[in-house]
Amino acid sequence: MVVAVNEKVAHYLGEPNPKLIRSNRKMLKFLRGAYAAGTPGMMAKPSTDLLANAGGYAFHYGCPNPEMRDIASWILTSGEKRLRRVAKLIPALWKRHGQEDLVLAGLLLANLSEEDLGESPWMAFIHLLGEQEPLGALLEISEELLRGGHKIPDDAWIVAMAGQSELWHQVAVLFLSLRKDSLEDVRSLIVTAPAGGELFERIRNRLLSSEN
């Protein structure tokens, strides 16, 4: 009998475990097992070579989105009485920097409040960023924050953010790409953003074309 992937994840996770939330080290080890449990059989072995170089990830299991949401839900349920403690797991996930770690960090950010995080989810997000990050993952996390009901910051916040570093300037453009209102007032910010890869330049060109 073939067991569905989500059943494997449910079996691995078991009942909510508030005690496990207390230790980032134990949680990180536990979560790698959860990623593996959620990955289709032929992809269960983590890829660490090509993706580490091309995608900026420490590892990648290939755990699908529905299973990642199950894992995030389990964490939030386990830590429902200690959400500030759950928030402290996010920087640890980001530091380890597996592909699934970043997805999970985004899901947790989107489902925690400003009170839980100690700052706005958008501010908590950009404070995670290192010198180089996979822009595709950052875009997906930004979209998840929007789905979580967190409104994109205003122009003044975006402009101030863009002035902090080249990466933050590029990420500011990613944030703007999700806005539905006119970007005329921040057009110069889009034009002057540092050159990026194919995804970034495609986004930049689309934004500039839409403002013509």
In a domain, 135, yes or no: no
List, for residues 150-203, the tens digit of each pLDDT value: 999 999 999 999 999 999 999 999 999 999 888 999 999 999 999 988 989 999
Asked if residue 167 lies in contact with residue 128, where contact means CB atoms within 8 angstroms, the answer is no
In a domain, 150, yes or no: no
pLDDT at 100 over 90: yes
Distance of CA 130 to the CA centre of its chain: 13
In a domain, 49, yes or no: yes
Distance of CA 121 to the CA centre of its chain: 11
Q: Which two tokens stand for residue 32?
A: 């790698």
Asked if residue 163 lies in contact with residue 194, where contact means CB atoms within 8 angstroms, the answer is no
Report pTM: 0.90
In a domain, 88, yes or no: yes
pLDDT at 52 over 80: no
Q: How far apart are CA 110 and CA 174, in angstroms?
A: 17
The total domain count for the chain is 1
| Cα–Cα nearest to 92, from 164, 23, 169 | 23
Tokens 């569905």 belong to: 4
In a domain, 196, yes or no: no
Domain that holds residue 28: 5-118
Phi first, then psi: give them for residue 52, nearest 5 degrees.
-60, -35
pLDDT at 50 over 50: no
Q: How far apart are CA 15 and CA 141, in angstroms?
A: 27
Q: How far apart are CA 1 and CA 5, in angstroms?
A: 13
